[in-house]
Structure 1
Amino acid sequence: MPTRMRRANRRPLATAATAALLAALVTPAAAQPAAPRRSEPVYSYDDAVREAVWVDTGLDGDGDGRTDRVAVDIVRPREPARQGREVPVIMDASPYYSCCGRGNESQRKTYDADGDIVGMPLFYDNYFVPRGYAFVGVDLAGTNRSDGCVDVGGDSDVQSAKAVVDWLNGRAEAYTTRTGTRRARADWTNGRTGMIGKSWDGTIANGVAATGVEGLETIVPIAAISSWYDYYFAQGAPLYDSGPDRLSDHVNSPGARAACDAVQRELVGGAPRTGDWTPLWTERDYIRAAGKVRASVFLVHGTQDLNVRMQHVGPWWDALARNGVERKIWLSGTGHVDPFDFRRAEWVDTLHRWFDHELLGYDNGIDREPVADIERGPGQWVTSAAWPPRATRATTLRPGRGTRPGVGTLGLRKGRGTETFTDDRRLGETDWAARIDTPTPDKAGFTTVPLTRDLRLSGSSTVTVTATPTTPTAHLSAVLVDLGPATIRDYTDAGEGITTLADRTCWGASTPGDSSCYKETAAKTADVDYTIVSRGWADLGHDTGTGEGAPLTPGKPHTVTLDLAATDHVVPAGHRLALIVAGTDRGLIDPPADTPALTLDLARTSARVPFTGGPAAFARATAGSASHAPGATPLDGVSAPSTVHHVPEGGQ
Structure 2
Amino acid sequence: MKLNQFARLTPDLETQRQELAAIGLLGQSKTDFTRCLQIVYPKLFPEAYSPAAQQQALATVAVNEEQDLKQWLQTNPTRMTQVEFYTVALQLLGFEADTTVDLAEPIAFMEQVKLPHLDHDIETTNDFVEAIYLLLNTRTPKLVNYLDDLANRGFFKHFHKKPNFLIFNGKVQQTFNPDEVLREVVWIESDLDTDHDGKRDLLEATIFRPAVTGVGLKVPALFTANPYFHGTNDQPDLTHDAQSGLTVKTTSHTREEVTYTPDAPLDLPHQEVMGSSQRAEVYGDENGIYSLNDYFMARGFAVVYSGGVGTRGSDGFRSTGGVDETASAVAVIEWLTGQRKAFTNRTDGITIDAWWCNGSVAMTGKSYLGTLAIAAATSGVKGLKTIISEAAISSWYDYYRENGLVVAPGGFQGEDADVLAEETFSRQKQGGDYLKVKAAWQKHLAAITANQDRETGDYSAWWDERNYRNNLSHITADIVSVHGLNDWNVKPKNVIKFWEGIQDLPVAKKLFLHQGQHVYLNNILSLDFTDMMNLWLTHELLGVDNHAETLLPDVTIQDNVTPETWHTVTNFGENNPAVTTQQIPLTQLNPSADHFTDHAKAIYVANHDDPDRFEAAIIQPDSDYAESRLLLTQPTATTDLTLEGTPSIDLHLSIDQPTGILSVRLVDLGPANRFNPTPTVLERNGYQLAYDFKTDNRLEFTPSKTITAAKLISFGHINLQNQQSSYQSSVIEPGVAFDIHLELQPTHYTIPAGRQLGLIIHGADMAQTIQPDQPVTYTIDWAKSQLNLPHY
TM-score bucket (shorter structure): 0.7 to 0.9
* Distance in 2 separating the partners of 1:546 and 1:125: 39
Residue in 2 that maps onto 1:528: 708
Residue in 2 that maps onto 1:490: 676
* Distance in 1 separating the partners of 2:344 and 2:756: 63
1:559 counterpart SS class: strand
* 2:558 aligned residue (375, 392, 410): 375
* 2:598 aligned residue (422, 447, 460): 422
* 1:166 aligned residue (334, 345, 349): 334
Q: Is the 8 A contact 1:88 1:134 kept in 2?
A: yes
Q: Is the 8 A contact 1:455 1:570 kept in 2?
A: yes
Question: Are 1:190 and 2:363 matched, yes or no?
Answer: no
> Which has the larger displacement, 482-491 or 226-235?
482-491
Q: Quote how far apart the aligned CAs of 1:530 are.
A: 2.1
Unaligned runs of 5+ in 2: 1-18, 20-165, 234-279, 409-413, 605-613
* Distance in 1 separating the partners of 2:292 and 2:728: 44
Q: Quote how far apart the aligned CAs of 1:120 are.
A: 2.3
* Distance in 1 separating the partners of 2:639 and 2:310: 55
Q: Quote how far apart the aligned CAs of 1:319 are.
A: 0.4
Q: Is the 8 A contact 2:597 2:775 kept in 1?
A: no
Residue in 2 that maps onto 1:517: 695
Distance 1:464 1:324, change over 3 A: farther
Residue in 2 that maps onto 1:9: none
Question: Are 1:73 and 2:256 matched, yes or no?
Answer: no
Q: What amino acid does structure 2 have at the position aligned with 1:249?
A: E
Q: Quote how far apart the aligned CAs of 1:498 are.
A: 3.6
Distance 1:429 1:517, change over 3 A: closer
* Distance in 2 separating the partners of 1:503 and 1:169: 35
Distance 1:344 1:71, change over 3 A: farther
Q: Quote how far apart the aligned CAs of 1:121 are.
A: 2.4
Comparing both structures, which one devotes a greater share of its residues to helix? 2
Residue in 2 that maps onto 1:634: none
Q: Quote how far apart the aligned CAs of 1:196 are.
A: 0.6
Residue in 2 that maps onto 1:363: 545
Residue in 2 that maps onto 1:52: 185
Question: Are 1:397 and 2:565 matched, yes or no?
Answer: no
Distance 1:396 1:324, change over 3 A: farther
* Distance in 2 separating the partners of 1:402 and 1:226: 34
* 1:352 aligned residue (500, 511, 534): 534
Q: Is the 8 A contact 1:497 1:524 kept in 2?
A: yes
Q: What amino acid does structure 2 have at the position aligned with 1:275?
A: G
2:398 counterpart SS class: helix
Distance 1:203 1:465, change over 3 A: same
* 1:460 aligned residue (622, 636, 646): 646
Q: Is the 8 A contact 2:281 2:345 kept in 1?
A: no
| TM-score (structure 2 length as normaliser) | 0.65
* Distance in 1 separating the partners of 2:625 and 2:288: 56
* Distance in 2 separating the partners of 1:225 and 1:555: 38
Q: CA RMSD in A?
A: 2.8
Structure label with greater radius of gyration:
2
Q: Quote how far apart the aligned CAs of 1:429 are.
A: 5.2
Residue in 1 that maps onto 2:405: 237
Deviations 1:232-261 (A, max 9, x none): 111112213342111111111214572422
Deviations 1:37-65 (A, max 9, x none): 11112223232222211111110101122
* Distance in 1 separating the partners of 2:589 and 2:217: 72
Q: Quote how far apart the aligned CAs of 1:608 are.
A: 1.7
Question: Are 1:146 and 2:292 matched, yes or no?
Answer: no
1:131 counterpart SS class: coil
| TM-score (structure 1 length as normaliser) | 0.79
Distance 1:65 1:57, change over 3 A: same
Unaligned runs of 5+ in 1: 1-19, 21-32, 102-111, 407-417, 613-652
1:119 counterpart SS class: coil
Q: Is the 8 A contact 1:473 1:592 kept in 2?
A: no
* Distance in 1 separating the partners of 2:535 and 2:167: 17
Question: Are 1:200 and 2:383 matched, yes or no?
Answer: no
Distance 1:290 1:541, change over 3 A: same
2:740 counterpart SS class: strand
Distance 1:166 1:442, change over 3 A: same
Residue in 1 that maps onto 2:508: 326
Distance 1:353 1:261, change over 3 A: same
Distance 1:546 1:100, change over 3 A: closer
Q: Quote how far apart the aligned CAs of 1:546 are.
A: 6.0
Q: Is the 8 A contact 1:197 1:205 kept in 2?
A: yes
Q: Quote how far apart the aligned CAs of 1:353 are.
A: 1.7
Q: Is the 8 A contact 1:404 1:439 kept in 2?
A: no
Q: Quote how far apart the aligned CAs of 1:575 are.
A: 1.7
Q: Quote how far apart the aligned CAs of 1:507 are.
A: 0.7
Q: What amino acid does structure 2 have at the position aligned with 1:229?
A: Y
* 1:306 aligned residue (479, 485, 488): 488
Q: Is the 8 A contact 1:401 1:419 kept in 2?
A: no
Q: Is the 8 A contact 1:154 1:284 kept in 2?
A: yes
User: How many corresponding residue pairs?
Assistant: 551
Distance 1:597 1:217, change over 3 A: same
Q: Quote how far apart the aligned CAs of 1:391 are.
A: 1.4
Q: What amino acid does structure 1 have at the position aligned with 2:579?
A: T
Q: Is the 8 A contact 1:236 1:542 kept in 2?
A: yes
Q: What amino acid does structure 1 have at the position aligned with 2:356?
A: W
Divergent runs of 4+, >6 A: 33-36, 401-404, 436-439
Distance 1:93 1:372, change over 3 A: same
Question: Are 1:577 and 2:757 matched, yes or no?
Answer: yes
Deviations 1:4-61 (A, max 9, x none): xxxxxxxxxxxxxxxx9xxxxxxxxxxxx99971111222323222221111111010
Question: Are 1:608 and 2:788 matched, yes or no?
Answer: yes
Q: Percent identity?
A: 27
Residue in 2 that maps onto 1:61: 194
Distance 1:371 1:421, change over 3 A: farther
Q: Is the 8 A contact 2:647 2:745 kept in 1?
A: yes
* Distance in 2 separating the partners of 1:403 and 1:571: 19
Q: Is the 8 A contact 2:223 2:303 kept in 1?
A: yes
Q: Is the 8 A contact 1:451 1:573 kept in 2?
A: yes
